[in-house]
Amino acid sequence: MSEVRIQQVTPNLSTQKPRRSFLNKIGFGFLYLLLGTFAIIQIYPLVWLVFFSLKTNKEVFGMSPFSLPQSPQWENYTKAWTSGNIGVYFFNSVWITVLSVVLTIILASFVTFAVTRMNWKLSGPVLGLFLVAYMIPLHSTLIPLFKMYNSANLIDNPLSIVLSYTAFNLPLTIMILLGFYKTFPREIEEAAVMDGCSVHRIFFQITLPMTVPVLSTTAIINMIYNWNEFVFVNTFISSDKWKTLTVGINNFVGQYLTDWGAIGATLVISIVPILLAFLFLSDKIVEGMAAGSVKG
Amino acid sequence: MKTVMSNKFAIALYTLPALLLILVLIYIPIALSGYYGLMDWDGIGEMTFIGLDNYITLIQDKLFWSSTWHSFLLAIFSTASLLLYLAISLVLASKIKGSDLLRKIYLIPMLLSSVAIAQLWMKIFDPTNGMANKLLEFFGVENTPIWLADPKIALYAIFIPIIWQYAGFYILIYYAALKNVPDEVIEAAKIDGASPFQIAYKIKLPLISGVFKVTIMLAVVGSLKYFDLIYVMTGGGPNGASEVMASYMYKEAFKLNNFGYGSAIGFGLLVICLLMTWLTSQLTKSKDDVQF
């Protein structure tokens, strides 16, 4: 139907076109200028970071900050990687992130399945508890959590970080999953029940595989949040061997106030994994970020 | 059907682990935070009950109220900047070439850790070698500011990277919402001779008002509990000029070992956040939300 309508409109538009086109061009040029300027504002600080990570101190302090590096100082990167504990921090970030993401996704899938597919009286209030938790500022929980972990001997233990990440990412993850489960047809699961399938088989062999698309979206969003998280690690972890990249580089950079090249290289190393993920998975990331806020 | 899907054991097995986790790590701590606020406690030794002393001190504490004011200032600036993002999204969503790429470029700062952003912007604000002052010098400004070291402008200087960081996120949300506006509605308006401005103002904006309200909520609450960039860039300084509620709590507890008073601040932060969540939802509520 809409096609027919558009065909009727076309002649009408074409008579107006010649009159408008010049103004339109200026208008569009202006809009592109606006959008382009905004893109430069968003991206240029990062380009500048990459530039100064490849400069010598002489160039940083003696020349315009907008100049290109004269001969790229790749040794800034080897210096950053070898002189600190960056390798250890990097490894910690990877395994803590991955473990927390896996835990969060399994637990959130369990809850979403139980709430949307199974019949029980308290499903509404229980879901409410998870959704309200999204509103609670984590800073208000920090001191009591510190005391709890302290009495459980979990201070300076990465388990405290994994548990905190999982708990605080559950609400958002459940929110995103909920949107998917609600639009998902129940017929296959119902047929499986008729065939005498147990709940566990339905969940693990039917529901979980069917939700893989949304699981990958939530996994990426969780990964970004965990990779970048700062407060929990800064508060609960004190020894270098358990620090993650964000806290590690913050301390490391603080010690090298004057060596901008090494500082820049350290920062670039910390953001490259996320930028790489974005390069290959940008659609999933965009989808996850939009889903988490709009459906919530 | 009913018996399989109302298997009590399975329900407990599926929900209890997650439920326990959020009860123990989120709900019990916020209750404890209010309780610890009644204590005199250095974080290591014994707690002594001192009644409402901490809360009374809190209400009279000028530093707490100035950091609360700073948090509210951030909320005001973030909410105001939403209008700019909305304008940009309206342009982006109007069938412009390259909008997909642009929107992804805008999002990049949102993906970076606060620490990386903070360290990067500290270099941008560097009084002698930073990009900000070199730009100002280029435009002929003689007395360039010292940014983060100037108590008068430190707070506003930090607002810039915070707003920079979140811009792409809000643009992304608006863009997604605008793309959901059915083409038929726009086409019908065009047939009736509506100008692009009329279409934007009278049709698109009312249709995405629900999403706009959600983003106001996100901006307000997100600003009130904001912490990371401020902690790394200035630590609340110079002299409390950029202190916000969360950074003040952190300083009292983990730097000055006033865990009792820190808990009281943390509880105040919680109450203010929940109050503002409720207030924002009341203020943005309208009886006739547009449906499509």
Tens digits of residue pLDDT in B36-76:
999 998 888 888 899 899 999 999 999 999 999 999 999 99
Number of other residues whose CB lies within 10 A of the CB of residue B14: 24
Token pair 């990964």: residue: A223
Length of chain A as a residue count = 296
Q: What is the predicted pLDDT for the residue at A6?
A: 41
Out of B167, B173, B211, the one facing A42 most closely (by C-beta) is B167
Pairwise CB contact (< 8 Å): A5 & B187: yes
Calpha distance A262→B80 (Å, rounded): 37
Could you say which of B2, B26, B131 has the minimum Cβ distance to residue A65?
B131
Say if residue B237 is exposed, middle or buried (CB neighbours under 10 Å; 0-12, 13-18, 19+).
middle
Beta-carbon contacts of B241 under 8 Å, excluding residues fewer than 6 positions away, are B151, B152, B154, B155, B234
A121 touches B at CB < 8 Å = no
Burial of A277 (0-12, 13-18, 19+ CB in 10 A): middle
Give the pLDDT score at A261.
Answer: 85
pLDDT at A83 over 80: no
* Chain B interface includes A200 (CB < 8 A): yes
Report d(CA B11, CA B2) in Å as an integer: 13
Instruction: Return the DSSP state at A68.
Output: P
Flag if B119 and A294 touch (Cβ within 8 Å): no
Residue A137 Cα, gap to closest chain B Cα (Å): 6
Burial class (CB in 10 A: 0-12, 13-18, 19+), B62: exposed
Position with higher pLDDT, A74 vs A3 = A74
ipTM of the predicted structure?
A: 0.88
- Between chain A and chain B, how many beta carbons pairs sit less than 8 Å apart? 281
| Residue, of A47 and A80, whose pLDDT is higher | A47
Q: Report CA Rg, chain B.
A: 24
What pLDDT does B287 receive?
Answer: 54
pTM above the 0.95 mark? no
Structure confidence at residue B78 (pLDDT): 95
A21 CA to chain B: closest CA distance, Å? 15
Output the CA angle A171-A131-B89, nearest 5 degrees: 80
User: Which of B22, B128, B228, B252 has the most A C-beta neighbours within 10 Å, making it the best mutation to test the interface with A?
Assistant: B22
pLDDT 10s digits, A137-156? 999 999 999 999 999 999 99
A74 CB burial (10 A radius; 0-12, 13-18, 19+):
exposed
pLDDT in tens, B253-284: 999 999 999 999 999 999 999 999 999 888 88
Q: How far apart are CA A139 and CA B269, in angstroms?
A: 8
In whole angstroms, what is the distance from residue A13 CA to residue A23 CA?
15
Q: How far apart are CA B108 and CA B164, in angstroms?
A: 10
Biggest CA pair distance of chain B: 79
Cα(B253)–Cα(A114) distance, rounded to whole angstroms? 40
Chain B residues closer than 8 Å to A48 by CB:
124, 131
* Higher pLDDT, residue A26 or B112: B112
Q: Which of B109, B173, B267 sits opposite A140 (nearest CB)?
A: B267
> In B, which residues are within 8 Å of A41 by CB distance?
164
Q: What is the residue-wise DSSP string for B113-181?
A: -HHHHHHHHHHHT-TTT-HHHHHHHHTT-SS---GGG-TTTHHHHHHHHHHHHHHHHHHHHHHHHHHTS
Inter-chain CB proximity A263 and B123 less than 8 Å: yes
The Cα–Cα gap between B11 and A111 comes to 9
Region of B236 please: left (phi>0), alpha (psi -120 to 50) or beta: left
pLDDT for A1? 37
pLDDT tens string A167-201: 999 999 999 898 888 888 888 888 888 888 888 99
- When pLDDT is cut at 50, 70 and 90, the band that residue A55 belongs to is confident
- DSSP class of residue B201 equals I
* Cβ atoms of residues A67 and A59 within 8 Å: yes
How large is the angle between the packed helices A142-151 and B28-36, nearest 10 degrees? 100
Q: Is A238 on the interface with B (CB under 8 A)?
A: no
| pLDDT value, residue B1 | 52
pLDDT score for A258: 73
Flag if B164 and A278 touch (Cβ within 8 Å). Answer: no
B-contacting residues in A 40-99 (Cβ below 8 Å) = 41-43, 45-46, 48-49, 52, 60-61, 64-66
